[in-house]
Amino acid sequence: MSRRLLIGVFEREEDILNATRASRTLGYTLVDAYAPYAVHGLDEAMGLAPSRLPWVCFALGLAGAAFKVWFEFWTTSVNWPVNVGGKPWNSLPAFVPITFEVMVLTAGVSTVLAFLAVARLLPGRKARLPRARVTDDEFVLVLEESDAAFDVARVRRLLDGFNAVRIEERVEEA
Amino acid sequence: MNFESTLPPLPEGSVRLLRALAAVGGLIILAGVLFAPERIWPSLLLVTYFLVCTALAGAFFVALQYVAGAGWSVALRRVPETLAMLLPAAGAALILVLLARPSLYPWAVHDSAYVALQGFKALWLNRPFFLARAAVYLALWIGLALAIVRTSRRQDSDGAIEHTLRNEKLSAVFIVVFALTFWPAAFDWIMSLEPHWSSTIFGVYNFAGMFLSGLATIIVLTVWLERLGPLHGVLNDNHLHDLGRLLFAFSTFWAYIWFSQYMLIWYANFPEETVYYTRRLHGAWQPLFLLNFFLNWVVPFFILLMRASKRSATTLMRVAVFVLVGRWLDLYLMIVPPHAGDWPPFGVWEVGPAVAAVALGLLASFHYLRQAPIIPVRDPLLAESLAQSDTPKPSRVSAGSSKDFFQAGVG
């Protein structure tokens, strides 16, 4: 199964923002937008749902912290109580620094791993870029020619209106 | 949008209200000096130190943006600059308190019940040296902070890049001087209220609280200016988001240091150190001690954890107000316990100076805000700050001179 793509290349972030917004309003199917840096508002212009990664971070951070508190309690006051400076077995203030570190560790590492899994970024994966210069100074909007009603001439005129420097049609093999 | 505009005069009613509050606060202070000196002076030390810290946080914020070459904050830089302008008056008020009430500090009075200090502390804590140090710290801060603000304002007329470069140098000097003088200042003015107690992390702890409440003040004033009109259409959710992230980060930094100080003393368990916490954790003081942690960390952390609340002016402003109340309480817990008994004193002598400080601080802020255009109109990085926008504005194109600067810089 292959799909036909229309690729618009822009030189300024305002242009890709406006072009993205207009394409979505007119009901075209957005495949993706490429930019050399995070363009403020592009996610909203594309209509992307908010990322769910913060929830992974929060849940695993909390789980890591809870596990560590329980583990320290278990080691220092249940399994092998050790008298440290006459403090009570179960001394919560002493647990705080390590709990904090473990929380940061689990939250941080799990967020990165979750991101890699969601984005399917595995070692050795080849970058798929519409143009090499999107990593430097170009902005690219990729639309799908979803059905027969997709009027290439009209979309070209639309993107031209937003100062597209180049418009190409491509066929993507799945 | 007319960026050249300065802040319009405040509505007559607001000015009258603030003046009335300042006058009432002033009368309470006067009455307190006459009839309740043992309550009013710690309270006055608290509010003057609070004001000095707020002003210093403004100067530090501006300096930080310059040394980092930050663009995002340029549009709202006049707010921290205004705070920095409060430094001379706030510093003078603090010096006045130090001069007028030596007996705030047990080491400065000859009391038979007092165990004299020994060694380095005995040399360091004597009145002439103490006052001279205070004067030196304040003179250094005021000199550098005002020089930075003056240079920034000079750029409004000619837009020359030299002003930015000069301020980058001044800011670097200010940050080093500030780092080396703020901790001994906190040791002198606050820690020596209990001269036998010491905590090496105390300076960092004071810095954390100072910058946290300074950020909260910047947020309150910025949102207020946006609502009032002068910054309307200039600021957007992305600027708020950045301010919110800073507040979030420094709230957590404060909590980290707050806990570090507690844990080290709890762990070592030396009586001369634990006495500080024993005093603050018994009886009616304990709820206040926990409330401090709640206001300065629990509230900001869990509310600002969500992206949406960092981007909402209303939520951010409310959190900032919580933090400012928390800062007052934090200082109250540092300053008042040695001067009080088992019951935390709270009444007209604590509220009066706080009301006077807020009213005078706001009146002075409006005064300084009106001295210069409400945004740094010819700063080369202004375009970058305004471009922090979801809806690109035509104003960006008009900033031609600064664009040329960037291109020249890259080539």
- Side chain identity at residue A27, one-letter code: G
Query: What are the Cα distances from residue B211, in Å, to B149, B216, B253?
Result: 18, 9, 10
Contact assignment for A17 to B392 by CB distance below 8 Å: yes
Helix (H), strand (E) counts: chain B: 18, 0
Residue B389's pLDDT band (boundaries 50, 70, 90)?
low
Mean pLDDT of B329-334: 97
Instruction: Search chain B and give the residue with CA nearest A101.
Output: B256
Residue B342's pLDDT band (boundaries 50, 70, 90)?
confident
Alpha-carbon B375 to chain mean position: 21
- Side chain identity at residue B162, one-letter code: E
Pairing of strands A139-144, A29-34: antiparallel
Contact indicator for B192, B104 with CB cutoff of 8 Å: no
B266 at interface of A, judged by CB pairs closer than 8 A: yes
Domain ranges of chain B: 12-109+121-373
Contact assignment for A93 to B263 by CB distance below 8 Å: yes
Query: What are the Cα distances from residue B366, in Å, to B14, B77, B291, B338, B376?
Result: 11, 15, 32, 36, 16
**Residue A171: its H or E element:** strand A166-173
For the packed helices B78-85 and B37-68, what is the interaxial angle rounded to 10 degrees? 140
Q: What is the CATH number that goes with domain A2-49+128-173?
A: 3.30.70.1110
Instruction: Report the alpha-carbon distance of residue B96 to residue B323 in Å, rounded.
Output: 27
- Min mean pLDDT across B32-41, B77-86, B222-231 is at B222-231
Suggest the residue from A13, A17, A40, A51 to mutate for an interface test with chain B (most B CBs closer than 10 A). Answer: A40
Alpha-carbon A51 to chain mean position: 7
Q: What pLDDT does residue B410 have? A: 35
Instruction: Search chain A and give the residue with CA nearest B270.
Output: A85
Question: Cα(first)–Cα(last) distance of chain A, in Å?
Answer: 6
Percent of chain A with pLDDT over 90: 53
**Residue A141: its H or E element:** strand A139-144
Cβ neighbours of A74 (radius 10 Å):
11
B255-287 pLDDT, tens digit each: 999 999 999 999 999 999 999 999 999 989 999
Residue with tokens 């000859």: B110
Instruction: Report the alpha-carbon distance of residue A77 to residue A88 in Å, rounded.
Output: 9
Q: Which runs of consecutive H residues, i.e. helices, occur in chain A?
A: 13-25, 42-46, 53-73, 92-118, 152-161
Instruction: Report the alpha-carbon distance of residue B22 to residue B360 in Å, rounded.
Output: 6
| Average pLDDT over all residues of chain B | 90
Instruction: Report the alpha-carbon distance of residue A112 to residue A117 in Å, rounded.
Output: 9
Q: Buried (b) or exposed (e) across B309-319, using 16+ Cβ within 10 A?
A: bbbbbebbbeb
Numbered residues of chain A with Cβ closer than 8 Å to any chain B Cβ: 13-14, 17-18, 40-41, 44, 50, 54, 58, 85-86, 93-94, 96-97
Instruction: Report residue A156 as tokens.
Output: 């070209």
Q: Name the residue with higher pLDDT: B355 or A148.
A: B355
All residues of chain A having their beta carbon less than 8 Å from the beta carbon of residue B71 are none
B267 at interface of A, judged by CB pairs closer than 8 A: yes
All residues of chain B having their beta carbon less than 8 Å from the beta carbon of residue A94 are 263, 267
Contact assignment for A93 to B266 by CB distance below 8 Å: yes
Residue B111's pLDDT band (boundaries 50, 70, 90)?
confident
Residue B394's pLDDT band (boundaries 50, 70, 90)?
very low
pTM of the complete model: 0.86
B264 at interface of A, judged by CB pairs closer than 8 A: no
Suggest the residue from A14, A53, A92 to mutate for an interface test with chain B (most B CBs closer than 10 A). Answer: A14
Q: Name the residue with higher pLDDT: B217 or B339.
A: B217
Q: What pLDDT does residue B391 have? A: 46
Q: What pLDDT does residue B217 have? A: 97
- Over 90: is that where the pLDDT of B181 sits? yes
Mean pLDDT of B60-74: 95
Instruction: Report residue B378 as tokens.
Output: 């010819």
Instruction: Report residue A88 as tokens.
Output: 């009570």
Closest-CA residue to A159 (of A171, A149, A169): A169
DSSP assignment letter at A169: E
Instruction: Report residue B306 as tokens.
Output: 């969500």
Q: Where does CATH 3.30.70.1110 sit in chain A?
A: 2-49+128-173
ipTM of the complex: 0.74
Q: What pLDDT does residue B392 have? A: 44
Instruction: Report the alpha-carbon distance of residue B349 to residue B152 in Å, rounded.
Output: 39
All residues of chain B having their beta carbon less than 8 Å from the beta carbon of residue A50 are 307
- Over 50: is that where the pLDDT of B393 sits? no
- Over 60: is that where the pLDDT of B192 sits? yes
Dihedral over alpha carbons B402, B406, B408, B411 (to 10 degrees): -170
Contact indicator for B319, B247 with CB cutoff of 8 Å: yes
User: Collapsing DSSP states into helix, strand and coil, what is residue B68?
Assistant: helix
Q: What pLDDT does residue A152 have? A: 86
B392 at interface of A, judged by CB pairs closer than 8 A: yes
Contact indicator for B380, B402 with CB cutoff of 8 Å: yes
A40, A85, A97 ranked by CB distance to B269: nearest = A85
B391 at interface of A, judged by CB pairs closer than 8 A: yes
- Over 90: is that where the pLDDT of B20 sits? yes
B307 at interface of A, judged by CB pairs closer than 8 A: yes
Contact assignment for A17 to B262 by CB distance below 8 Å: no
- Over 80: is that where the pLDDT of B396 sits? no
Mean pLDDT of B189-207: 95
Instruction: Report the alpha-carbon distance of residue B198 to residue B177 in Å, rounded.
Output: 23
Residue with tokens 């002198």: B188
Mean pLDDT of B106-119: 81
Low-confidence residues of chain A, pLDDT below 70? 1, 174
All residues of chain A having their beta carbon less than 8 Å from the beta carbon of residue B307 are 50, 54
Alpha-carbon A100 to chain mean position: 26
Residue B60's pLDDT band (boundaries 50, 70, 90)?
very high
Contact assignment for B267 to A85 by CB distance below 8 Å: yes
Contact assignment for B390 to A13 by CB distance below 8 Å: no
Contact assignment for A50 to B307 by CB distance below 8 Å: yes
CA quadruple B276, B281, B287, B289: dihedral sign? positive
Instruction: Report the alpha-carbon distance of residue B411 to residue B407 in Å, rounded.
Output: 6
Cβ neighbours of B163 (radius 10 Å):
22
Give the angle subtended at the CA of B51 by the CAs of B45 and B55, to the nearest 5°. 145
3-state helix, strand, coil in chain B (%, to 5): 80, 0, 20
Instruction: Report the alpha-carbon distance of residue B38 to residue B349 in Å, rounded.
Output: 10
Which phi and psi angles does A151 have, rounded to 5°?
-95, 105
Contact indicator for B22, B360 with CB cutoff of 8 Å: yes
Instruction: Report the alpha-carbon distance of residue B369 to residue B365 in Å, rounded.
Output: 6
- Over 50: is that where the pLDDT of B401 sits? no
A140-160 pLDDT, tens digit each: 999 988 777 788 888 899 999
- Side chain identity at residue B83, one-letter code: L
All residues of chain A having their beta carbon less than 8 Å from the beta carbon of residue B305 are 58
Q: What pLDDT does residue B341 have? A: 84
Q: What is the DSSP string of B258-317?
A: HHHHHHHHHHH--HHHHHHHHHHHSTTHHHHHHHHHIIIIIHHHHHHTSHHHHT-HHHHH
Alpha-carbon B226 to chain mean position: 21
Residue with tokens 């049609």: A169
Instruction: Report residue B27 as tokens.
Output: 């009368």
Which phi and psi angles does B124 have, rounded to 5°?
-70, -40
